Structure formats: structure tokens, C-alpha cells
């Protein structure tokens, strides 16, 4: 049994508010026969948190926007299978897109949540050096964060334990700007903003093929329920398909395929803590290759979970193997030695759409515009993993800026 899928479906179904107007595929005004083509100003492929943020930015500029989503709901992949953390901007190389868009996006997302009533909490985070060997890395992250404009407080062992008595460490960093957010309510907010400005979100709408060689971009789109195929043209196409971004780019005739970076898949599993957590803040160990380590996060109901770990896979599979708990116990007890036996329950998993592989340095976001590939009106988003949720509003505006150049 794939533990992650039904548990996640239960977790999200109780808080999701569907949009009945777009419960099927393309709106009737955009459906076409074999001999007809419907025209629209801008098409966004992918209705995850980033695709919806892009649609919001473009619609607010006055563009007619259609968002194509192959699934039956928004944000069913990477956007809903993560830690729901608002990141401060600690880890990313100074000057990188991840660093700039995370720090800018973090401030904007807090403002957005306050203004729109999106459930969130600036709960704070403790980044832990569990032993003396990790102190150098801890100092390095403090220096990186400072260069990114993120202020962290150095905590000695006693100071860290005063905040979290169950914690084991030799030193730690305190991040007051880290928080948590209801990711689906955030996406619903972006969707609502886009729709208020005339955008349409077309669910169950799968991209079959496209042609970007002419002034008008051409797409063939299938209704995944009925099989009905429609043809669309647009001045602008935004590839925000996340895990499928490389596949989408490969369907576009006229696009230089050497500009498509290789995709790597890194699955991360989560385990829920049975019983009450002794922690009031998020607890992060030192990062591992491909991820930030099996950290402890709290949701808005104060339920604690651990993850994600990193498992390099060849295909998209959200199965959570209960046996992976053995590794989790070992990792977690480096910073929480009091973790009780038998207290970890399989929860869900997510897959990161990475563009750097095992043992490689973590790659930056790729926001690939006309200046990068020579095709007007086309933007590809590759490798938008963490901190993509935090940076989503800023990524949306970044895409809009590229299209104005």
C-alpha cells in the first residue's frame, strides 16, 4: 500500500475549497473543433503555487490568461507535498536567484497572508549543530545568511536548550523569520486574484503538443476525461509544469532542445509523530546532499512531522516505505535523543524537480526567458524546488518582468 497518497488526500481534502466553475477542462469559449483555433493572450502550463502566482501577476497586468492543469485540482504535486515552510533565506548562495527571490518573497508572502487571511504563523526555526564537527558548517550558514540579508542569532548550547529543553546540540542558529503556511489556502488566494482579473484555470487539461516557431504559439490540449482535443494559440506561454517542465519543453516544436536541463528526481518521505511534540519551534539539522535534512516541522494544528529525507529515484512514485522509519530514528536522535521508539508513523512523500544530481552542488532556479533561448513570448521554469513556495510571488513578478523586456 502506498501510505503517502491516501493519507495526504485525507489531509488536504478537509481543507480544500474547490472552484466549481473550473471543475472540468477548458471553458466553453476556448474549446475548438478540429478546424477551429481559439486565441488567448497568455497560457500558463501548470497550476501549482508558482504557476498560479505567475497567472496572478500576468492577469493583474491586464493580460488574458488561461492556466492549463492536467490534474483535477490545483497544486496536487510538489506544491502540496512539502513542509509548508516559509523559508528565511539561510542556505542559498549570495547573488543567486534562490537567495534573492526567497528573501524578497518571504517578506511578500507574510504581507500577503496577513492581507488575505491565509492561515500562517511566524513560528521561528532553530538550525542545530549536533556535535563539534558541525560547528564550522553552522558558522558558514550564518555568514551566508548575513550576506543574503538574513539576520540570525547565535545560540550557545544552554541558550538553545533554554528555548527547547528536549534539544541536543553544541550550538545553534535562531531564525525568527521562518514560518509555516497553509499552502493550499495560499494557492486558492492566488487563483482567486487571477480569476478576479479575468484569468481562467482549466483543470483536466493536458498539453499534447505545441509549436513555438512562429509569432503565435500553438498548443493542442486534451480533456483528460472526455479525450476532446482543442487547439489554442497565444502570444505568451509560461512553462510552470514543475516535475513535467522538461517534458513540456520537449513537446514544443521550434524550441532548442539543448536548452532543456536534465531532470533529477529526489523523493522525500515524511513521518508523523504520534503524540505531542515537546518542541515549540521548527528544528533543522545540518543539510544533506539534495535536501535540508529530516527536520521537525509543526503544522498549524501543532501536529509534528519529520522529513523529508532524500532518495534519488527514476520515476514519480509517492509510496512511503514504513521501513524508512529506521533511518529517520537514527537521524532525528542526533538532535532529539528522547524520540520514543514506535512513535513515527508513515505519512506522505513529495518529489523535488531537481536539475542537479547526487553528489553535485545544488543548482539555482532556472527562469529561462527570450534572451536565453531566442524565442519571444516563452518562459520556462526549471528546477523550481524549495524555496519555490516562499519565492512564488517574486517568481511571478520576475516572469512578468522578463516578458516586458
User: For residue range 273-329, what is the model confidence (pLDDT) as tens digits?
Assistant: 999 999 999 999 998 777 778 899 999 999 999 999 999 999 999 999 999 999 999
Contact 367, 261 (CB under 8 A): no
Distance of CA 374 to the CA centre of its chain: 27
Read out DSSP for 125-148?
EEEEE-SGGGHHHHHHHHHHHHHT
Q: Rounded to whole angstroms, how far apart are CA atoms 187 and 48?
A: 7
361-374 in b/e form (b: 16+ CB < 10 A) is ebbbbbbbbeeebe
Which numeric CATH code is attached to 122-178+263-354?
3.30.9.10
Q: Rounded to whole angstroms, how far apart are CA atoms 315 and 11?
A: 24
Report the DSSP beta bridge partners of residue 153: 174
Query: Cell digits for 378?
Result: 516563452
Does domain 4-80+184-260+363-404 fall into CATH 3.50.50.60? yes
Give which of 333, 394, 346 is closest to 166, Cα–Cα: 333
Count H helices, E strands: the chain? 10, 21
Give which of 177, 184, 201, 52 is closest to 118, Cα–Cα: 184
Report the DSSP beta bridge partners of residue 211: 218, 253
Q: What is the pTM of this model?
A: 0.92
The pLDDT score that the predictor gives to residue 20 is 38
Look-up of cell digits 487571511: 117
Contact 305, 299 (CB under 8 A): yes
Q: Mind listing the pLDDT tens digit for each residue in 145-154?
A: 999 999 999 9
Q: Please state the length of the chain.
A: 405
Report the DSSP beta bridge partners of residue 378: 237
Q: What does DSSP assign to residue 403? A: H
139 contacts: CB under 8 Å, gap ≥ 6 = none
Report the DSSP beta bridge partners of residue 66: 43, 200
Give which of 367, 363, 371, 373 is closest to 396, Cα–Cα: 367
Contact 32, 233 (CB under 8 A): no
Give which of 159, 156, 180, 167 is closest to 88, Cα–Cα: 180
108 contacts: CB under 8 Å, gap ≥ 6 = 393, 394
Angle at the Cα of 390 (from 385 to 242), degrees rounded to 5? Answer: 30
Spell out, as residue ranges, where the chain has pLDDT lower than 70.
1-25, 27-36
Contact 230, 210 (CB under 8 A): no
The pLDDT score that the predictor gives to residue 5 is 31
Domain ranges of the chain: 4-80+184-260+363-404, 122-178+263-354
Q: Positive or negative CA dihedral for 48, 102, 308, 367?
A: positive
Q: Rounded to whole angstroms, how far apart are CA atoms 204 and 175?
A: 40
Contact 403, 369 (CB under 8 A): yes
What's 177-189 look like in SS3? CCEEECHHHHHHH
Amino acid at each position: 500500500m502506498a501510505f503517502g497518497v491516501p493519507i495526504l488526500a485525507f489531509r488536504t481534502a478537509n481543507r480544500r475549497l474547490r472552484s466549481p466553475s473550473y471543475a472540468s477542462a477548458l471553458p466553453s469559449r476556448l474549446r475548438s473543433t478540429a478546424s477551429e483555433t481559439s486565441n488567448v493572450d497568455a497560457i500558463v502550463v501548470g497550476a501549482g503555487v508558482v504557476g498560479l502566482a505567475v497567472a496572478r501577476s500576468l492577469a493583474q497586468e491586464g493580460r488574458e490568461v488561461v492556466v492549463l492543469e492536467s490534474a483535477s485540482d490545483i497544486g496536487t504535486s510538489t506544491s502540496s507535498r512539502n513542509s509548508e515552510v516559509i523559508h528565511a533565506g539561510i542556505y542559498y548562495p549570495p547573488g543567486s536567484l534562490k537567495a534573492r527571490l526567497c528573501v524578497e518573497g518571504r517578506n511578500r508572502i507574510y504581507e500577503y497572508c496577513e492581507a488575505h487571511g491565509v492561515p500562517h504563523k511566524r513560528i521561528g526555526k532553530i538550525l542545530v549543530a549536533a556535535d563539534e564537527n558541525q560547528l564550522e558548517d553552522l558558522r558558514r550558514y550564518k555568514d551566508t545568511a548575513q550576506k543574503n540579508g538574513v539576520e540570525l542569532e547565535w545560540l550557545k548550547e544552554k541558550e538553545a536548550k533554554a528555548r527547547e529543553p528536549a534539544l541536543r546540540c553544541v550550538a545553534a542558529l535562531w531564525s525568527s523569520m521562518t514560518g509555516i503556511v497553509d499552502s493550499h489556502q495560499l494557492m486558492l488566494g492566488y487563483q482567486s486574484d487571477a480569476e478576479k482579473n479575468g484569468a481562467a484555470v482549466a483543470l483536466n487539461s493536458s498539453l499534447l503538443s505545441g509549436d513555438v516557431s512562429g509569432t503565435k504559439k500553438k498548443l493542442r490540449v486534451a480533456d483528460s476525461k472526455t479525450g476532446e482535443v482543442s487547439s489554442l494559440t497565444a502570444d505568451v506561454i509560461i512553462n510552470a509544469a514543475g516535475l513535467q517542465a522538461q517534458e513540456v519543453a520537449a513537446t514544443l516544436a521550434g524550441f532548442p532542445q539543448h536548452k532543456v536541463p536534465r531532470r533529477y528526481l529526489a523523493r522525500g518521505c515524511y513521518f508523523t509523530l504520534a503524540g505531542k511534540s515537546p518542541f515549540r519551534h521548527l528544528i533543522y539539522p545540518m543539510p544533506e546532499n539534495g535536501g535540508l535534512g529530516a527536520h521537525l516541522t509543526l503544522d498549524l494544528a501543532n501536529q509534528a512531522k519529520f522529513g523529508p529525507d532524500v532518495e534519488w529515484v527514476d520515476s514519480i512514485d509517492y509510496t512511503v516505505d514504513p521501513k524508512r522509519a529506521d533511518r529517520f530514528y537514527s537521524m532525528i536522535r542526533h538532535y532529539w535523543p528522547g524520540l520514543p521508539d514506535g512513535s513515527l508513523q508513515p505519512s506522505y512523500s513529495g518529489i523535488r524537480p531537481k536539475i542537479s544530481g547526487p553528489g553535485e552542488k545544488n543548482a539555482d532556479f532556472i527562469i529561462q526567458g527570450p534572451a536565453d533561448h531566442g524565442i519571444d513570448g516563452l518562459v520556462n521554469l526549471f528546477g523550481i524546488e524549495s524555496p519555490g513556495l516562499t519565492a512564488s510571488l517574486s517568481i511571478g513578478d520576475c516572469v512578468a518582468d522578463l516578458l516586458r523586456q
